[in-house]
Amino acid sequence: MAILINEQTKILVQGITGSQASKTVKEMLDYGSKVICGVTPGKGGGKIEGIPVYDSIKDALKEHKVDASLISVPPLKVIDAAFEAIDAGIKLIVIITESVPIHDSAKIIAYSKDKGSIIIGPSSVGIISPGKSKIGPIGGFKKAFNQGCVGIISKSGGMASETALLLSQNAIGQSTVIGIGGDRILGSSFADLLILFEEDDSTQAVVIFGEVGGKYEQEISEIINKKLFTKPVIAFISGNFVEKLPTVALGHAGAIIESKENTRESKIKSLKQAGVIVAEVYHEIPALVKRALKI
Amino acid sequence: MNLKEFEGLDLLEQYGILSPKRKIFSKEEIVDLSIFISDKLVIKAQTLTKKRSKSGFVKILPKEEVEKEISSMIGKNFKGEKIEQVLVEEYIPHNHEYYLSFIFDSLSKSPVLIISKEGGIDIEEINEIKSRNITILPINPLEGISLNEAKLIAKKAGFAEEDIISRFIISAYSCFTSSDSVMLEINPFIIHKDKILALDANIHLDDSALIRHKFNFPDRIGSREASEREKAARDIDREDHHGTAGKTYIDLEGDIAVLASGGGASLTVMDALISYGGKPANYTEYSGNPPAEKVEKLTKITLSKENLSGCFVIGGTANFTDIYETLKGFLNGLNSIHPKPRYPIVIRRAGPRDKEAYDMVKRYADENKLDIHLFDENTPLTYPAKIIVELSKRYKEKNGHIN
């Protein structure tokens, strides 16, 4: 088991003919992901890595049944691509494009709520269920990921891999690893995904890589207090450095600090109160996971 | 990108939101106040950093004292920002100040409207203001706000002037969405002769959406104008959209040049570098598999600083960034620096084609007699920060650096 994707998940890629997307598709196929079709308006009829390309999702769905879509189109085209996927009834949509205007993201998220689709991203590095399937560029460095019982949710794509590697080096495998993106508003938050991990029997604990900015820790504390998530959570929050710079968006737009109560320190305090195990130093994470799982 | 007050007021005006008669002054201008009719005028330093009034940068003075105050304010520093413009506006007597803003809320994943009869307060985040008399409402971005809803909001917030407040809410929301703002704050606004007047504007535009607008605002990094190096770095991304390199480049005051990869990893590493006593010369980050040329340009900009004592090339385990390509870009950049750097260079990277990349770097270091130290994924991400700090310290001792 895993969450969101497994070896059965049939994937459509929007923007499949782009240079980065076609590279990602090759990697996904190499990993064993079931990429079955792609869409690029005006380029229907061709093939990428042996995968048929269509002009629209509607055309693609005449020939294929699809469970998930990967969106890799230029930032200003993401909104149309996402609406097309939602309208087509695709239930999982992973947006890897960065720099999507926030007003567009808000509309996409609102529309997906109305229609019952799950959005991961924007700025997501993708999802990987090790040994089963991956969607997006995540897992290009294969040996970082190994099948196991710990879920990882990270705003940062690089740190999703880095954290998986750190766990793997300590003989801790992963059930599913998700890069949720670092934008100010996210299709799926830490809390949204924790709820899915709760239902997954193969996941025994979840590691969270967070950053300053946003109020996600409040939401995490809430779902733990309401017992909607009952497994151990191990968290690391980065961003001491950012707090020394006034209102400057760094690596992730989400790290904009606009409030005194939104500091790293206050986030850590709030998480600890809810029973989350917080790593003070990044490389403590594996030891804390082992202690939580009594292994 | 932050806007100064007068820029924000100009933008609001395009959506029908009025403010008192105003004029902007900078250094060389002759002060002509003939457009103003009131005896007293408001003088406000134009800064990107907020909360200036408590430091005496907002004053209400008789007309005859204004000229002197303008020349006294210009050139002063406010929280590290040099004051270059001063806004003078008609003084409108008023009893009440009100508050309105739109901002994105990460919990409801939507824009929210914040409105209050108690304006003039320092608020930028929702959780600070819970206890006050403030109305906060999430807005469905697909539907916007109807006039009827706006009237109900005005009523709920306790305003008797439902009609004008509701039209004001709709105009402000229209400005917020049409200009692609991340935040729009009017604090305070007043009601004067049955009209609403904005007495300040704090607007942050969405950097990601600037491309679909024709704004004419200067390039900025957070609360200050961008330096030449910062502008050059940002141009790299504007010219080529493959991956990012330079979108975030910030000059800092230290002496260790940093070329980091990945948003999360780079922040984690900056924290580590500083905690070990290192002083970064800059912050920058490249990610998303940028081509070698972009990394080369960013390397040249980053290493163009004088008096560097070390260079730190650092990143997490890349998912798809081609380590060979990006390190080739780094070496090409290094190659164009004259004289060749003698300071230590610490590199820690892992990901696709990392072995080939390291062979290339080793050969280059040998041929050019460079002091390069390589670490791979078996060294935890934050450990090389300690190494570069120690090496840089030793380099400075040997070369008689003052700091």
pLDDT per position as a tens digit, B282-300: 999 998 889 999 999 999 9
Highest mean pLDDT among A4-18, A153-167, B68-82, B258-272: A4-18
| Cα–Cα distance measured from residue B294 to residue B237, given in angstroms and rounded to the nearest whole number | 8
Higher pLDDT, A19 or B155: B155
Looking at beta carbons, which residues of chain B come within 8 Å of A107? Answer: 141-142
pLDDT of residue B131: 52
| Cα–Cα distance measured from residue B326 to residue B322, given in angstroms and rounded to the nearest whole number | 6
Exposed/middle/buried for residue A157 (C-beta within 10 Å: 0-12, 13-18, 19+): buried
Closest CB to A110: pick one of B79, B140, B317.
B140
Q: Is A283 a catalytic residue?
A: no
Return mean pLDDT, chain A. 90
| Cα–Cα distance measured from residue B285 to residue A182, given in angstroms and rounded to the nearest whole number | 14
- From the CA of A64, how many Å to the nearest CA of chain B? 28
Looking at beta carbons, which residues of chain A come within 8 Å of B266? Answer: 250-251
Looking at beta carbons, which residues of chain A come within 8 Å of B180? Answer: 101-103
Looking at beta carbons, which residues of chain B come within 8 Å of A246? Answer: 49, 79, 222-223
Q: Tell me whether B227 touches chain A (CB under 8 Å).
A: no
Looking at beta carbons, which residues of chain A come within 8 Å of B253? Answer: none
- From the CA of A127, how many Å to the nearest CA of chain B? 11
pLDDT of residue B399: 85
Looking at beta carbons, which residues of chain B come within 8 Å of A238? Answer: 264, 267-268, 271
pLDDT of residue A250: 34
A175-203 residue pLDDT tens: 999 999 988 899 999 999 999 999 999 99
pLDDT of residue A256: 32
Q: Tell me whether B267 touches chain A (CB under 8 Å).
A: yes
pLDDT of residue B126: 43
Instruction: Extract the tokens encoding B181.
Output: 């703002």
pLDDT of residue A113: 96
Exposed/middle/buried for residue B269 (C-beta within 10 Å: 0-12, 13-18, 19+): buried
Q: Tell me whether A159 touches chain B (CB under 8 Å).
A: yes
- From the CA of B160, how many Å to the nearest CA of chain A? 31
Q: Tell me whether A54 touches chain B (CB under 8 Å).
A: no
Whether residue A246 has pLDDT greater than 80: no
Interface test with B, best of A73, A124, A241 (most B CBs within 10 A): A241
| Cα–Cα distance measured from residue A207 to residue A237, given in angstroms and rounded to the nearest whole number | 11
Adjacent-strand bridge partners of B43: B59, B88
Q: Tell me whether B208 touches chain A (CB under 8 Å).
A: yes
Sequence-ordered list of residues with C-beta below 8 angstroms from that of B289, at least 6 positions apart, any chain: A20, A137, B242, B243, B318, B320, B321, B322, B325, B326
Q: What share of chain A is helix, strand, coil (3-state, %, to 5)?
A: 40, 20, 40
Of B253, B367, B258, B366, residue with least CA distance to B310: B258
**Structural contact between residues B291 and B240, judged by C-beta atoms closer than 8 angstroms:** yes
The stretch B68-93 carries a mean pLDDT of: 91
pLDDT of residue B25: 94
Query: For residue B51, how many other CB atoms are within 10 A of its CB?
Result: 12
Interface of A with B in 103-132 (CB under 8 A): 103, 106-107, 109-111, 114, 125-126
Q: Cis omega (within 30 of 0) on the bond before B339?
A: yes
Q: Cis omega (within 30 of 0) on the bond before A122?
A: yes
3-state class of B93 per DSSP?
coil
pLDDT of residue B222: 64
pLDDT of residue B124: 45
Considering only alpha carbons, which residue of chain A is nearest residue B112? A106
Residues of B203-241 as b/e, b for ≥16 C-beta within 10 angstroms? bbbbbbbeeeeeeeeeebbbbbebeebbbbbbebbeebe
pLDDT of residue B82: 86
Higher pLDDT, A184 or B372: B372
Whether residue A276 has pLDDT greater than 80: yes
- pLDDT band of residue B88 (cuts 50, 70, 90) is very high
- pLDDT band of residue A140 (cuts 50, 70, 90) is confident
| Cα–Cα distance measured from residue B93 to residue B191, given in angstroms and rounded to the nearest whole number | 10
Q: Tell me whether B75 touches chain A (CB under 8 Å).
A: no
B97-133 residue pLDDT tens: 998 999 898 889 999 998 988 877 554 444 444 555 7
Looking at beta carbons, which residues of chain A come within 8 Å of B288? Answer: 20, 98
pLDDT of residue B332: 96
The stretch B201-229 carries a mean pLDDT of: 84
| Cα–Cα distance measured from residue A157 to residue B337, given in angstroms and rounded to the nearest whole number | 32
* Number of cross-chain residue pairs from A and B with Cβ atoms under 8 Å apart: 216
Sequence-ordered list of residues with C-beta below 8 angstroms from that of A21, at least 6 positions apart, any chain: A13, A15, A38, A70, A72
Residues of B326-344 as b/e, b for ≥16 C-beta within 10 angstroms? bbbbbbbbbeeeeeebebb
- pLDDT band of residue B369 (cuts 50, 70, 90) is very high
A205-216 residue pLDDT tens: 999 998 876 777
Instruction: Extract the tokens encoding B340.
Output: 């060749």
A77-102 residue pLDDT tens: 999 999 999 999 999 999 999 889 99
Helix (H) or strand (E) holding B102: strand B98-105
Query: For residue A45, how many other CB atoms are within 10 A of its CB?
Result: 9
Looking at beta carbons, which residues of chain A come within 8 Å of B294? Answer: none
Q: Against a cut of 0.90, is the pTM above it?
A: no
Looking at beta carbons, which residues of chain B come within 8 Å of A282? Answer: 268, 380-382
pLDDT of residue A190: 96
Interface test with B, best of A141, A152, A155, A174 (most B CBs within 10 A): A141
In the 8-state DSSP scheme, what is residue B122? Answer: -
pLDDT of residue B154: 95
Would you give the distance in Å from CA B89 to the centre of its chain?
27
pLDDT of residue B220: 76
Adjacent-strand bridge partners of B26: B85
Question: Do B263 and A255 count as a contact with CB atoms less than 8 A apart?
Answer: yes
Considering only alpha carbons, which residue of chain A is nearest residue B111? A106
Closest CB to A157: pick one of B207, B208, B319.
B319
**Structural contact between residues B389 and B277, judged by C-beta atoms closer than 8 angstroms:** yes
Q: Tell me whether A137 touches chain B (CB under 8 Å).
A: yes
- Separation of first and last alpha carbons in chain B: 34
- From the CA of A58, how many Å to the nearest CA of chain B? 23
In the 8-state DSSP scheme, what is residue B249? Answer: E
Interface of A with B in 252-291 (CB under 8 A): 252-255, 258-262, 281-283
- pLDDT band of residue A236 (cuts 50, 70, 90) is very high
Exposed/middle/buried for residue A141 (C-beta within 10 Å: 0-12, 13-18, 19+): buried
Considering only alpha carbons, which residue of chain A is nearest residue B273? A241
Residues of chain B with pLDDT > 70: what percent? Answer: 95
Whether residue B302 has pLDDT greater than 70: yes
B151-175 residue pLDDT tens: 999 999 999 999 999 999 999 999 9
pLDDT of residue A261: 55
B312-344 residue pLDDT tens: 999 988 888 899 999 999 999 999 998 889 999
Closest CB to A24: pick one of B109, B320, B381.
B320
Whether residue A142 has pLDDT greater than 80: no
Of A230, A210, A243, residue with least CA distance to A274: A230
Considering only alpha carbons, which residue of chain B is nearest residue A23? B320
Complex ipTM, two decimals? 0.90
| Cα–Cα distance measured from residue A142 to residue B354, given in angstroms and rounded to the nearest whole number | 13
Q: Tell me whether A165 touches chain B (CB under 8 Å).
A: yes
Return mean pLDDT, chain B. 89
Interface of A with B in 2-41 (CB under 8 A): 19-20, 23-24, 27
Closest CB to A100: pick one of B208, B223, B270.
B208
Whether residue B280 has pLDDT greater than 60: yes
Q: Which whole-number Å values give the CA distances from B63 to A54, B31, B127, B202, in the listed order?
A: 69, 11, 40, 26
Question: Do A111 and B248 count as a contact with CB atoms less than 8 A apart?
Answer: no
According to DSSP, the β-strands at B81-82 and B77-78 are: antiparallel
pLDDT of residue A262: 64
